[in-house]
């Protein structure tokens, strides 16, 4: 018994499709990129506005590498100081020492010792910056702006350090 010409064409097409599918499935799976590691940092967007950081809280995974994409959407200059208690105290003291006594006097730039610097980025209104950061594995950290008057206005953010797999990406 011979098949109609259309049935033979369908059989040939089916065999061809199966061959393609089988060939594709034999290829090795693509290499999985793990975000949050050196060379593939997880991106974290943070907006600095007048006296607040967004989002808040910021969830970071202990030991991961992140790239902070910072945008100052406020009308004033702001700083992004990320670090533990020692870092926050050092920057607060540096700003207090640099604050001029006169009303319109220009403050000298604040600085701290490199061994306690933490991460600090100073942004003018409308400015953007990107910076990579290695999240500590054991030390708790916080985020604050120590420019004169900003901390007193509440410019701090909660930073939650979680174990890998516990944070949403």
Average the pLDDT over 120-147 and give the result.
93
Q: What domains appear along the chain, each with residue ranges and CATH number?
A: 42-162 (2.60.40.420)
Q: Locate the DSSP E strands across 5-64.
A: 42-49, 52-54, 58-61
Residues whose CB falls within 8 Å of the CB of residue 108, separated by 6 or more in sequence, listed in order: 98
- What average pLDDT is seen over the chain? 80
Average pLDDT over residues 103-124: 71
Residue 69 pairs with which residues in a beta bridge? 45, 130
Q: State residue 12's pLDDT score.
A: 60
- The answer, yes or no, to whether residue 34 has pLDDT greater than 90, is no
Q: Label the pairing between strands 142-144 and 78-83.
A: antiparallel
pTM here?
0.70
Res. 153 pLDDT band, cuts 50 70 90 = very high
Cβ–Cβ under 8 Å, residues 63 and 37: no
The tokens for 125 are 């209104």
In this predicted model, which residue has the larger pLDDT, 143 or 98? 143
């Amino acid at each position: 018994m011979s098949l109609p010409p259309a049935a033979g064409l369908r059989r040939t097409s089916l065999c061809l499709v199966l061959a393609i599918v089988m060939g594709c499935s034999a290829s090795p799976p693509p290499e999985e990129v793990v975000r949050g590691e050196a060379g593939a940092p997880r991106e974290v967007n943070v907006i600095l506005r007048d006296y607040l950081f967004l989002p808040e809280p910021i969830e970071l995974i202990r030991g991961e590498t992140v790239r902070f994409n910072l945008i100052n959407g406020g009308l004033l200059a702001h700083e992004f100081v990320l670090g533990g208690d020692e870092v926050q105290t050092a920057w607060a003291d540096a700003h207090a020492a640099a604050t001029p006594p006169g009303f319109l006097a220009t403050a000298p730039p604040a600085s701290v010792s490199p061994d306690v610097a933490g991460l600090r980025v100073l942004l003018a209104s409308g400015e953007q910056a990107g910076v990579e950061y290695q999240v500590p594995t054991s030390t708790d950290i916080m985020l604050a702006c120590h420019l004169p008057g900003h901390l007193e206005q509440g410019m701090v953010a909660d930073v939650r350090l979680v174990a890998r797999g516990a944070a949403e990406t």
